[in-house]
Amino acid sequence: MNRQRLLPLILAGLLAVAPAGLHAQDDAEAQAAETKGELEAAAEQAQPGGTPRVAMPTGPVPTTPVATPPGATPTPAPAAGTSDPARRATGQNLMLRLTPENMPDTQNMDVIEGAEFTTDILLVNPVNRPVDHVRVVIDFNPAYFSPMAINDSPIQDQIAGGMPRALVDRARGQIIYEADLDPPLGRLAGPMIFVRWQALKPVFFSPITFGRDRQGRFSDLFREEESILGETYEQGDGTVSMTITVIPADPDEARIMAEDPHLYLGSSERVGGVELSIEPPARTPRVGEEFTLDIVLDNRAHSQLDGISLLIQYDSSVVQILDDDRDNWITLGTNIHDGSFRNTFPFDYHMANAVYPIRGQIEYRVGTSTPQDLIGIHGTFARIRARALAPTAGTTLKFLFSPRPGSRTTSATYLGQDVLGETRVRNDGVRGVYFPILP
């Protein structure tokens, strides 16, 4: 397989890479086995308590995952992407899968701290449907992995104009790759794209997942602007993600991980970068119609987080908030809905959930005793059900902030510390919604 076309990711914030930045490596497959052997030998020779003597290659990356040390606890099941990892493409469904390099039947991978490794992005296309546009959004925890390069050589001859779009946001932990394909892509014998990484520090397991970008766009495949990934009526469906275990390079520390993996469960101790948003209705409502607005928590910054407070302002003369307390913990009065999202967002403290139509406000407060459950999480955690009352060119639902300590406000916190948006900037990290209502 031609694995010579690399899109280098410069070690700096957010970067677009043009084809002019491409570079090649020769004899990658032959040299990779030698590199893997050097890494395994170096790990064995590491001095207890000292700096591991791991030879970092300047050529190709290791292509085979390093074996788990004897006695290690088996690697956990793969992280859930946006669909069940056991799901298989049937009929005309297409899938995207993240796997270790050259290991298409597993979603788990073990690597040594400091080593480089490669993951494949596989296109499962059982009926050879043509794909003329691809968008891949990959989320990862930047505390444990750093992307080194994207290689799209399997599809380079079909990239329209030779101009893919590759972005990496190391602080956020996200890679975005997008390209038009002409002629369209069909069934592939191997990976569509692969990504080279470096393992930064030990962790028992940490996911690399298909996600969505800041505009809410999921990883997707298209034919003539129509999504053909997974079940087409369900955004984000049709993907299978993977997990990585980073084994300490020091043999003594590796034995500790094998004996007590709970010491390496992956708290990154990062704070800040959490975002809250209200998504617009699926279609523009008309007067008298009901519609829903999703409230989304985005913690792909992998911040510590143990509490969320919402204070949302709306115009009660044009929008009526309806009671929706199915499976809610709080059911008194008029409530927004959160009962359907408890499995994904396991908040165990529910302090407020109330709608005040006279003043046109929604108040909502929840917290958790297990903040590690919210690290890296992203999705809808509450939903507003509403009815359109009057036509308008545009109405707004916006987050409100208060400077007074102890007063009702919008916030995301950890141990009382602000983690919403940039921690040095007040009242950021939120996005309300503006939409019209038709007669």
CA-based nearest residue to 321, from 337, 332, 309 = 337
Residue predicted with more confidence, 423 or 254: 254
pLDDT value at 48 more than 90: no
pLDDT value at 8 more than 90: no
In this structure, the chain runs to a length of 439
**For the chain, which residues make up each domain, given as ranges?**
6-264, 275-437
Question: What percent of the chain shows pLDDT beyond 90?
Answer: 48
Q: Which single residue is written with the structure tokens 């946001």?
A: 169
Confidence of residue 37 (pLDDT cuts 50, 70, 90): very low
CA angle 19, 21, 24 (to 5 degrees): 95
In this prediction, residue 258 carries a pLDDT of 85
Highest mean pLDDT among 58-67, 251-260, 263-272 belongs to 251-260
Same fold, 6-264 and 275-437: yes
Instruction: Please state, in angstroms and rounded to a whole number, the distance separating the CA atoms of residues 392 and 179.
Output: 38
The amino acid at 121: I
Q: Which two structure tokens, joined as six digits, stand for 412?
A: 């995301």
Mean pLDDT of 387-405: 93
**C-beta separation of 15 from 9 below 8 A:** yes
Confidence of residue 269 (pLDDT cuts 50, 70, 90): low
In this prediction, residue 7 carries a pLDDT of 54
Using one digit for the tens of pLDDT, what is the confidence trace for 73-96? Answer: 333 333 333 333 333 333 457 899
Q: Which residues contact 241 (CB under 8 A, 6 or more apart)?
A: 78, 79, 80, 81, 85, 98, 107, 207, 208, 209, 210
Confidence of residue 32 (pLDDT cuts 50, 70, 90): very low
In this prediction, residue 407 carries a pLDDT of 83
As to burial, measured by CB atoms within 10 angstroms (0-12 exposed, 13-18 middle, 19+ buried), residue 162 is exposed
Residue predicted with more confidence, 341 or 45: 341
pLDDT value at 404 more than 60: yes
The amino acid at 250: D
In this prediction, residue 390 carries a pLDDT of 97
Q: Which single residue is written with the structure tokens 């038709």?
A: 438
Confidence of residue 265 (pLDDT cuts 50, 70, 90): low
Instruction: Please state, in angstroms and rounded to a whole number, the distance separating the CA atoms of residues 166 and 293.
Output: 31
Handedness of CA 283, 288, 290, 295 (dihedral sign): positive
Instruction: Please state, in angstroms and rounded to a whole number, the distance separating the CA atoms of residues 316 and 357.
Output: 6
**What CATH fold (topology level) applies to the domain 275-437?**
Immunoglobulin-like (2.60.40)
CA-based nearest residue to 197, from 253, 235, 150 = 150
pLDDT value at 303 more than 60: yes
Mean pLDDT of 391-411: 91
Lowest mean pLDDT among 82-96, 190-204, 306-320: 82-96
Handedness of CA 79, 89, 294, 352 (dihedral sign): negative
**C-beta separation of 59 from 38 below 8 A:** no
Mean pLDDT of 359-366: 96
H/E run at residue 340:
none
Using one digit for the tens of pLDDT, what is the confidence trace for 215-246? Answer: 778 899 999 989 898 775 555 578 888 989 99
Using one digit for the tens of pLDDT, what is the confidence trace for 134-157? Answer: 999 998 988 899 999 999 999 999
Residues paired with residue 206 on neighbouring β-strands, in sequence order: 244
In this prediction, residue 373 carries a pLDDT of 81
Mean pLDDT of 301-318: 92
In this structure, CATH architecture of domain 6-264: Sandwich (2.60)
Handedness of CA 312, 316, 317, 323 (dihedral sign): positive
Q: Which two structure tokens, joined as six digits, stand for 20?
A: 């002019």
